[in-house]
Each structure stands twice: as C-alpha cells, then as structure tokens.
C-alpha cells in the first residue's frame, strides 16, 4: 500500500506546480474549471486582465470565462476564491518526504527547527521539543503523532489532513450529508442537517464511495472522455497538417502560375526588344550614310560661298567675271544634287502597336484566381464557399442621385438588385427598383424605423424605436411578426439564424423564433452595429468605432480627426468595414484590424446615414439626408 501511494504521488509532482510562476503553489486557489493557481499569481492576473474584459476573466489554461460576483471587488476576488486543500496536503506531504523537514509550530515564531513527527489532527510537522509539548498538553495529548520516516506517514498526512468548513472556517470538515451531497462540520450538522437521515463521518462515507460502482463508472467515463478528446486532438492535428499542406500547395500553385505568366511575358518582351534592335541595326546605317553624303555637299557649298565672297572683294574685274561663270555652273550642279537627294531621302518612322488583349489585361483579369474554402462536419458554421473580393482599391463611380422628401435610416440591397429603404420621419418602408427611381411597394409602420436587415430572399426585419423588431414579407408586403421591445432600439444584426438587438449599452441575442438566448454587455452607447464571421461585433458609439468579441474582449477602437458623428456601419466579407460619418459627409473604409484604408464617397451631396453593398461587391447605395446616392464599384 505504501509503495503504491508513493508511486502515485511521484507521478503527480506537476500538480503542485503553479502554471503561472512555475513554482510550488503558495496558497493554491481554484476556478470553477478546477484549474489552480497561487493566490498571489491569480491576483496579479486578475488585476492586469480584468480591465480588458467585461465582467470577468478567462482561465489562463482552458480560457473558460469566469464571471466576477457583484459582491466581490477586484482586489479581494483572489482571496475569496476557494482554496484547493488537496493540493495543500500534497505539498505538505512532499515537503515532509524531502530532506528539509521544518517544524510548523516553530516556523510561526520565525524559528527554524528540523521536524521529526507529524500530528494527524493538527496537520502539522513538529520538532522534538514541540512533539514533547504536544504530548503533554491537555488539549493535544490525545492527538495522533507519527514519525516522518515512512511512506505510510505521507499517506496518513494526505488522508487525515483537516479541511476547514466553508460556512465555519474555524471548524474542520468531519461529516458528509448524502441527502444534500455536501461535506460539513459538526456545527453544520446541528444547524442545517439535523433533519437529514443520511449523515455520516467523512472517513466512512469516503471509504464507501470509493468502493461503490458509481465511482468505478465515473472513473471509466472520465477515461472514455479522455480517450475521445485524445482522438479529437489527433484528428484535428492531422487535419491541421493536411490544411497546412493544402495552403502550401495553393501558394506553390500561385507561384508556378505567376512564374509561367511572367516567363511568357518576359519571352514576348525579349522577342520584341530583339526585333526592335534588329530593325535599328539595319536602318540606322542607311540614315547615317545619307547624312554623311549631305554633309559632304554642305562643305562644298560652304567652300563656294567663301570663294564667291573673296572674289567679290579682292579679285580683278576680269577674274571675278570668270569665277562667277564657274560658280554659276557649280550652283546649277549643286541645285540638281540637292533636288536629287531630296527625292532619294525617305522619312523613316517606327511605331509599336500593342496587342489589344495585353492592353486590356488589367481590366479582363480582375482576379488572379479564386480560392474556395469549404467547411463541413458538426460545426456551427454551415458548409460554404467563399470567393474573396479585394475591396481595398476599388474606384467608386457616382451613377445617380435620387431626391426624396425625408431621410433614409436603413438600406438593404436584394440579390435581384431591388433596394429596401426605411424612412425615419415618414414611418415607412419602401421597395424600390435597382435605380431607386420607382417605388414598387410601400409599408406603413406605427413608429420611426431605423436599421434594416434581410433574413432571407423574401423576408426582412426592421428596428422600430420604442416599439420593437418588426418582421415583414416583401412578397405579400405585410408585417408577419413583431417582437415588442419598449425601449430605445436603433439597430440590430441578423447572423446565422440569430438576432442581435441593441438596447443602449446592452445587446440581447434571440434565436430565429425570437426567444431570448443571452445578453452581451458593452462599455459604450451603441448606435449601429455589424457582425463579422468570427462573431466579433463592430459598432459605432460617440466619435469612435469599437470592435469586441462575444464575451466583451476589445479587439480594436478606431477614431479619426474627421470622424465626427459615425452612423451606419456595414461589413463586407468580414474583411472590410464601411462607416458613414454624418457630419463630415463621407465614408471611412477600415481594414479587418480596424486600420484606416481610405476615406471614400467624399463627394456626397448630403450627410450619409447608412450604406449597403451588394453581395458581389460591385454596387453600393448610400442613404443620405433627403437623397439616395448610387455608386458603381470597379
């Protein structure tokens, strides 16, 4: 028995080491997930982490969200966490087995004495002097003292260690109530369990429980769960390796394709450059030869001109007349030569006519390729195929501006190209054609509508302030369902069959039947919001854009000198965020990480309130003050 206990304990040495400081536990405290940490370590962790979360922290090991009780301050939270007395006993036992055995009683007086015995009742080590006093003292003379020399001592320490009662910390746990499945002290037995029929000493209850089929079955279940998790981890590891190989294969394929295209273009370029050089080699000598011949004639003319001017000044009359005759003959000869040369000289012109397909390559090849991502299995995510479109450099072209009598506060573009609009002051929803010039249908509401989202091809929902969420049908042009919410309601999101509805500083999640699922608390007043595929929420508040996870962890906060009054927000393919700035009359385009990519639509004729982009990313509609602006995105 002693040997088996010793082996069991040696296999669990890591249990006594804190995973934060990597030292032996000092006052181990544990979370609901049963992971333990030093009280000091977890206090520091809470202090540094709680500011970045909302209402709680995550376990450093398993990331379980642990909410903070409203009755406990951050400073005292670590102290109020339950103590892991099993680890305390294990640590004491390991220390008693080591060469360094210090008397616990002397240590309280800052004295260091080697321990020689262990008091089972007090759970303390004792030196020779304290051992002697312990045996003589009236109140401790009946205690069981054992020598610190055998493994049996260690086992006794572990099995007989006293654990204080949570209700009465000055009392030790001695009983177990089967009716309530709770351990308790004798005071609890007399006050709270006096009418219970099955109250036993913890030793008896523990021995019986260890031998029961229930414990054996529980152990078997845990082993099966561990086996299943091991298989899942191995499966995920294999899939991760396979995914990495696929990613690398795609990268290699893209590189090969680019190399092929580059090589082909380089070859075409080289051919044309060689052809150009050959033409230059053939034509340039001809041009140079003609030029040299003309230069020779030029020297002749210059000589004749000099000779003529000299004769004019210095030669006798007879000689001048003779020279004049010769020069006239020479002039006639030169004129004939110039005339002949002019007829012989041909202008040389060289041009390059590019292949039209090459000129149109940027336009024709808008995408280098398409990457298909498919998810399958039992995930919450449906099986899907994503074609990612880069929106970072498109060129918006204003195609039309439609004047209306009121302001647009909500927009949704249908796959058909039709547009659904909400008019705040008119208490109306409208379905318009793709040019927004013709009203196809209209639906009256009792109060002011705000944000619109489509839940299917034929059905949508609109947030109505002070009234609730109104579900409507486009086909029948009727209200099909109303979720009454008598509070400020500006916007909502419909994502994966769930509604995320904004109430000032709270977001309530409803299922597709509008049954409440949970609440998400946020730090700021939410105006409008959008949800990304990774379940992070982006919302406008004050002069900023915030992004948080579902548990409230901040992802990013965006602000800008000319972001004065952000309103409507939309997310395209989870990678691009578009925010309307009402006062600055523009739209801010942000990256996935909340960085400004550029400010677009800066020529809006009036203040924008909302924006919608169609699924193909080729068209945008911006709802403004008494105007609707339509853009083509290229």
Higher pLDDT, 510 or 93: 510
pLDDT for position 378:
46
- The answer, yes or no, to whether residue 548 has pLDDT greater than 60, is yes
Rg (CA), the chain: 44
Residues written for the chain: 634
Q: Which residue has the tokens 């991760």?
A: 240
pLDDT for position 368:
63
Higher pLDDT, 604 or 533: 604
Could you read off the pLDDT of 17-70 as tens digits, one per residue? 898 988 888 888 998 888 899 999 999 998 888 755 567 888 888 888 888 877
pLDDT for position 13:
46
438: tokens are 């013709």
Q: How confident is residue 314, by pLDDT bands cut at 50, 70 and 90?
A: confident
Round to whole Å and give the CA distance between 60 and 45: 9
pLDDT for position 369:
66
Could you read off the pLDDT of 239-255 as tens digits, one per residue? 889 889 988 988 888 88
- The answer, yes or no, to whether residue 157 has pLDDT greater than 60, is no
Q: Which residue has the tokens 């992802």?
A: 555
314: tokens are 């210095």
Round to whole Å and give the CA distance between 246 and 374: 12
632: tokens are 């083509």
> Which pTM value belongs to this model?
0.42
pLDDT for position 333:
74
Could you read off the pLDDT of 347-388 as tens digits, one per residue? 778 888 878 777 777 666 656 666 766 665 544 333 333 444
pLDDT for position 80:
87
Which range is least confidently modeled, 186-190, 241-245, 495-499, 501-505? 501-505
Round to whole Å and give the CA distance between 316 and 337: 31
Higher pLDDT, 155 or 2: 155
Which range is least confidently modeled, 189-203, 204-218, 344-358, 594-608? 344-358
Q: How confident is residue 98, by pLDDT bands cut at 50, 70 and 90?
A: low
The mean pLDDT of 449-458, rounded to a whole number, is 86
- Selection from 547, 502, 549, 510 nearest residue 527 by Cα: 502
Crossing angle between the packed helical segments 317-344 and 213-314, to the nearest 10 degrees: 150
Tell me the CA distances in angstroms from 289 to 283, 285, 286, 293, 598, one per residue in order: 10, 6, 5, 6, 59
Crossing angle between the packed helical segments 213-314 and 202-211, to the nearest 10 degrees: 80
Could you read off the pLDDT of 251-287 as tens digits, one per residue? 888 889 889 888 988 998 898 889 888 888 888 888 8
pLDDT for position 534:
76
Give the three-class secondary structure for 47. Answer: helix
For the beta carbon of residue 83, count every other beta carbon within 10 angstroms: 17
Round to whole Å and give the CA distance between 414 and 631: 15
- The answer, yes or no, to whether residue 615 has pLDDT greater than 80, is yes
Round to whole Å and give the CA distance between 185 and 196: 14
pLDDT for position 41:
92
Local structure of residue 17 (DSSP, 8 states): B
Q: Which residue has the tokens 């000493």?
A: 201
Higher pLDDT, 532 or 308: 532
The mean pLDDT of 458-475, rounded to a whole number, is 87
Tell me the CA distances in angstroms from 184 to 85, 191, 192, 202, one per residue in order: 15, 11, 9, 9
pLDDT for position 9:
38
Identify whether the C-beta of residue 586 lies closer than 8 Å to the C-beta of residue 601: yes
- The answer, yes or no, to whether residue 553 has pLDDT greater than 80, is yes
The sign one gets for the Cα dihedral 400, 404, 407, 411 is negative
């Amino acid at each position: 028995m002693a040997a088996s206990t010793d082996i069991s304990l040696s296999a669990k040495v890591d249990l006594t080491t804190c995973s934060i400081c990597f030292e032996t536990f000092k006052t181990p405290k544990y979370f609901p997930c049963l992971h333990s940490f030093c009280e000091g370590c977890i206090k520091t962790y809470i202090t540094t982490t709680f500011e970045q979360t909302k209402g709680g922290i995550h376990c450093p090991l398993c990331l379980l969200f642990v909410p903070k009780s409203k009755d406990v301050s951050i400073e005292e939270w670590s102290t109020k966490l339950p103590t892991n007395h099993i680890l305390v006993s294990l640590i004491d036992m390991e220390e008693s087995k080591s060469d360094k055995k210090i008397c616990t009683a002397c240590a309280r007086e800052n004295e260091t004495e080697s321990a020689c015995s262990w008091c089972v009742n007090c759970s303390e080590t004792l030196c020779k002097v304290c051992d002697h006093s312990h045996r003589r003292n009236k109140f401790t003379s009946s205690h069981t003292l054992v020598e610190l020399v055998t493994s049996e001592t260690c086992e006794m320490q572990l099995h007989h260690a006293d654990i204080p009662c949570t209700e009465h910390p000055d009392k030790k746990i001695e009983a177990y109530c089967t009716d309530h499945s709770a351990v308790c002290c004798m005071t609890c037995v007399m006050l709270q369990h006096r009418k219970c029929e099955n109250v036993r000493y913890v030793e008896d209850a523990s021995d019986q429980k260890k031998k029961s089929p229930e414990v054996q079955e529980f152990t078997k279940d845990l082993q099966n769960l561990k086996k299943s998790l091991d298989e899942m981890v191995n499966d995920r590891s294999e899939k991760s390796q396979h995914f990495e190989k696929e990613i690398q294969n795609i990268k290699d394929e893209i590189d090969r394709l680019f190399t092929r295209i580059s090589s082909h273009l380089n070859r075409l370029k080289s051919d044309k450059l060689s052809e150009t050089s050959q033409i230059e080699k053939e034509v340039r000598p001809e041009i140079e030869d003609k030029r040299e011949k003309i230069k020779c004639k030029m020297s002749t003319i210059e000589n004749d001109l000099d000779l003529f001017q000299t004769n004019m000044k210095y030669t006798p009359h007879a000689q001048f007349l003779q020279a004049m005759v010769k020069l006239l003959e020479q002039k006639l000869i030169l004129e004939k030569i110039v005339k002949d040369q002019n007829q012989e000289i041909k202008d040389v012109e060289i041009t390059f006519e590019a292949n039209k397909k090459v000129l149109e390559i940027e336009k024709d090849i808008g995408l280098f390729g398409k990457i298909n991502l498919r998810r399958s299995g039992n995930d919450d995510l449906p099986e899907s195929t994503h074609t990612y479109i880069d929106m970072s450099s498109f060129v918006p072209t204003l195609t039309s501006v439609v004047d209306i009598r009121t302001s647009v506060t909500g927009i949704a573009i249908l796959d058909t190209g039709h547009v659904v609009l909400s008019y705040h002051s008119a208490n109306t929803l409208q379905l318009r054609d793709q040019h927004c010039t013709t009203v196809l249908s209209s639906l009256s509401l009792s109060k002011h509508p705000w944000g619109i989202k489509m839940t299917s091809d034929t059905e949508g929902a609109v947030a109505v302030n002070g009234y609730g969420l109104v579900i409507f049908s486009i086909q029948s042009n009727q209200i099909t369902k109303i979720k009454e919410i008598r509070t400020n309601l500006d916007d909502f999101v419909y994502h994966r069959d769930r509604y995320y509805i904004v109430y000032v500083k709270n977001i309530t999640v409803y299922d597709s039947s509008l049954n409440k699922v949970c609440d998400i608390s946020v730090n700021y007043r939410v105006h409008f919001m959008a949800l990304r595929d990774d379940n992070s929420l982006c919302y406008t508040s004050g002069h900023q854009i915030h992004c948080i996870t579902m548990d409230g962890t901040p992802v990013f906060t965006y602000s800008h000198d000319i972001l004065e009054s952000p309103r409507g927000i939309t997310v395209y393919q989870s990678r691009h965020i578009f925010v309307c700035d009402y006062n600055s009359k523009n739209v801010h385009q942000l990256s996935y990480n909340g960085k400004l990519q550029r400010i677009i639509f800066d020529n809006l004729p009036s203040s924008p309130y909302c924006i919608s982009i169609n699924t193909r990313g080729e068209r945008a509609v911006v709802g403004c003050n008494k105007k609707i602006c339509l853009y083509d995105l290229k």
